[in-house]
């Protein structure tokens, strides 16, 4: 019997954006930090067993050492485990953030680093999670490609960062997440990132969502999701608007 669990799912936080240049960067940096802090506080209120971060915690691999240290401390201060993949903005290119700073030194955090994909087991939660460490955002890269077999009688999760392509249409877009991959995955939940808006791409018995960004894209509040897993029931996914 698998334990009843609550997951939280966040992505696309984009700390340390340097889009605006000059003084406005500092304003934006502080704003991103406030949004991330609010996200973590809102997630904590939901008392999750695990937080999934589906890529783009940082806006670019140029993020400052100060912001990286600040984020690592914030994550280390959480009372629950965190499972994370890189995104296209904080990918594993040479000298990227996660090559310069070892996030796997954070006791409660596991960061997927293997570009070919990596299974991370959390035996205390009976979770077997899989994801890839994105190195470059290209049409050849397939975030959900070559998923391994399921681990029987465990909760099977996957994380991916890329653009959703509905149906079998051919596309030249980079990092495609395909309908068939979700359909054939057999996973209990797939946590996706890259779209900055909430999107339900569930297929068959697999619940699969883009959770949206904690930073609102319009006048709406930013979002994350909670996912309640219970034996014999469909995953219960709830949209949480950040207060």
Using CB under 5 A, list all residues that contact Mn ion. Answer: 56, 87-88, 194
Least distance from C-beta 134 to Mn ion, angstroms?
9
Least distance from C-beta 192 to Mn ion, angstroms?
10
Least distance from C-beta 194 to Mn ion, angstroms?
4
For Mn ion, the closer CB: 87 or 131: 87
For Mn ion, the closer CB: 208 or 229: 208
Q: Which residue is nearest to Mn ion (CB)?
A: 194
Q: Is 72 exposed, middle or buried (0-12, 13-18, 19+ CB in 10 A)?
A: middle
Cβ neighbour number for residue 215 with a 10 Å cutoff: 21
- Relative to beta strand 155-161, strand 189-193 is parallel
Q: Chain-centre distance of CA 241, in angstroms?
A: 17
Least distance from C-beta 157 to Mn ion, angstroms?
19
Closest CA to 131 of 140, 141, 142, 144: 144
For Mn ion, the closer CB: 156 or 176: 176
Least distance from C-beta 178 to Mn ion, angstroms?
17
For Mn ion, the closer CB: 48 or 55: 55
For Mn ion, the closer CB: 192 or 242: 192
Q: Chain-centre distance of CA 108, in angstroms?
A: 16
Whole-angstrom Cα distance, residue 225 to residue 111?
20
């Amino acid at each position: 019997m698998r334990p009843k669990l609550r997951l939280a799912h966040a992505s696309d936080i984009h700390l340390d954006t340097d889009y605006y240049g000059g003084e406005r960067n500092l304003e934006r940096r502080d704003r991103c930090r406030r949004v991330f802090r609010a996200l973590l506080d809102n997630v904590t209120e939901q008392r999750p067993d695990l937080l999934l971060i589906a890529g783009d915690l940082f806006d670019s691999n140029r993020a400052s050492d100060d912001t990286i240290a600040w984020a690592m401390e914030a994550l280390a201060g959480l009372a629950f485990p965190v499972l994370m993949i890189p995104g296209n903005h904080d990918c594993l290119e040479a000298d990227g953030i996660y090559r310069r700073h070892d996030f796997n030194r954070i006791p409660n955090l596991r960061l997927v680093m293997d570009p070919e994909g990596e299974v991370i087991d959390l035996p205390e939660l009976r979770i077997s999670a899989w994801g890839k460490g994105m190195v470059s955002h290209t049409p050849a890269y397939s975030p959900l490609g070559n998923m391994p077999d399921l681990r029987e009688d465990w909760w099977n999760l996957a994380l991916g960062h890329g653009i959703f392509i509905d149906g079998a249409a051919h596309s030249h877009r980079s990092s495609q997440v395909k309908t068939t991959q979700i359909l054939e995955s057999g996973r209990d939940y797939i946590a996706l990132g890259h779209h900055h808006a909430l999107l339900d791409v569930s297929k068959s018995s697999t619940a699969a969502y883009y959770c949206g960004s904690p930073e609102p894209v319009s006048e709406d509040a930013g979002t994350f999701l909670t996912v309640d897993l219970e034996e014999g029931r469909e995953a219960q996914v709830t949209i949480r608007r950040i207060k």
